[in-house]
Every structure is written in C-alpha cells, then in structure tokens.
Amino acid sequence: MKKKQNQLLRVLKIVGNTIFYIFILILLLFSISNISAKKEDDIPSLFNRGFVNVLTSSMDGEIKDYKVNSFKKDALVFVKILNDEDKANLKKGDVVVFWGQLDPTDPSSKGLIIHRVVDVDKDLKRVQTQGDNKNTNGNIYEETSFSGIKAIATSKYEKLGSPIRYMQTSSGFFIFVIIPLMLLVVFEVVVLIRFIIRHNKDKLELKYAEDRERLKEELLKELEDKKKE
C-alpha cells in the first residue's frame, strides 16, 4: 500500500512540475514576444507568429464560412506576420491586421485594425477590408495597400484578450511573470540545497561505513596476531 502511495506521489510530482515549467515557458515566450514590439504599430511576435487583442466589437458578426470566423470584443487572435509573397496571395475572406485610423472622424486615432478582406486588387496591390459587424460597419470600408498589411489571422479564442491585455500592464507583468519566475528560482535553490545536503549525508554515511569496516578489519587482525603469540 505504501509503495503505491509513493508511486502516486511521484507521478503527481512529475505532472505538477511539468505543468509548472510549461506555464513558465509560456510566460517567457509571451514576455519575449512583447519585448519584440518596439514600436506602437508593431505586433508582439516570435518566429513570425504573434497575437492581437481585440479592443472593439467591429468583428462581432455572423460570418462562419472562413478559416477565421467572426469574433467578439476581448477575443485573442493569433496571427502570422506576412512577407511580400504572402501579401500577394491574400484573398477575399482573410482576416488581416494593419495600422490605420480607428475613428473615421478623428485622424489622430491610430491603432492596429483587424478586419476582413472583402476585395483584392492584385494589379494595384491593394485590398479593401470591412468589419463583420454590419451594425457599425455597414457602409464603412478601408482601402489598404499590401505594404500596410502586417499580419493575417490564423485562429481566435474568445475572452482571452482581456487577461492577456492585463498581463501587458506593469502590475500584470509583475504578478504573472516576475513572481512566478522568482518562485521558480526559489524552488530551484531549495532543490539544489536539498541535493547538496543529501549528497553530503550519503558521503558521510559511506565514509562511516568504510571507517567501521576498516576498524573491524584492524581488530580482527589484532586478534589473529595475539592468537599467534
């Protein structure tokens, strides 16, 4: 029974450590991708893969016939950074990210826009985009050149944008990145100290056993010498 309990504890420990290290790895990748966004119009990315937080409801529609369907505000959209060849292969229905004017009445309101391609002009190297939400984007289209397009959406996850956005703040970064990394360092130091103590203990026990065996042999030799006398 005790052996089974020890095996179960060992398995749970391995699973727990695996989950913890995966979590730390994800946080590190997330941090590195954020650091890579040096300008306000950059998309946080790593190895040409990144993510965009959806800040408005402009894509909250009913479109379900494409690889990336409509999504709501606070969704997290994963994207692929495009090169010139990728941009030349854009087609109707793709969801793209570009830097543009967020408010049609305010030229100073700039930001990353994520909308669907409704028309492609390969001769002029331009696309026409529109949000899926017909209530707010019924007759509003954006004309964007290939050079202005930054990425294409590959998948989306509803409601994940808000917590990721919080993690990008100083307090969120401290809570979800710095503290776990500190805990990891403390954990590794404790493991190292325990290993050193256990290693030293094993060395002492081995030395004690060797000394005891040596004394035993010396006593036996003395007894044999006395018998010969």
pLDDT at residue 184, as a whole number: 78
Spatial strand order of the sheet with 49-53 comes to 45-46, 49-53, 76-81, 149-157, 95-103, 106-121, 126-130, 142-145
Residue 71 CB burial class (10 angstroms; 0-12, 13-18, ≥19):
buried
Count the Cβ atoms, other than its own, within 10 Å of residue 227: 7
Task: State how beta strands 95-103 and 149-157 pair.
Answer: antiparallel
Task: Delimit the domains of the chain by residue range.
Answer: 1-36, 39-160, 169-229
pLDDT at residue 225, as a whole number: 67
pLDDT at residue 3, as a whole number: 63
Rounded CA gap, 228 and 52, in Å?
92
Q: Which helix (H) or strand (E) holds 181?
A: helix 179-228
CATH code of 39-160, in short, is 2.10.109.10
pLDDT 10s digit of each residue in the chain, 229 long? 556 666 776 777 777 777 777 777 776 666 666 665 566 667 877 888 888 889 889 999 988 889 899 999 999 999 999 999 999 999 999 999 998 877 767 777 788 899 999 999 999 999 999 999 988 877 788 889 999 999 999 999 998 888 877 777 778 778 877 787 788 788 878 888 888 888 888 788 888 877 788 877 777 777 776 666 6
Rounded CA gap, 142 and 124, in Å?
15
* Token pair 């543009």: residue: 100
Task: State how beta strands 142-145 and 126-130 pair.
Answer: antiparallel
Rounded CA gap, 78 and 30, in Å?
12
pLDDT at residue 10, as a whole number: 76
pLDDT at residue 2, as a whole number: 59
Q: What three-state secondary structure class fits 136? A: helix
Q: What is the 3-state secondary structure (H, E, C) of 138-160?
A: CCCCEEEEHHHEEEEEEEEECCC
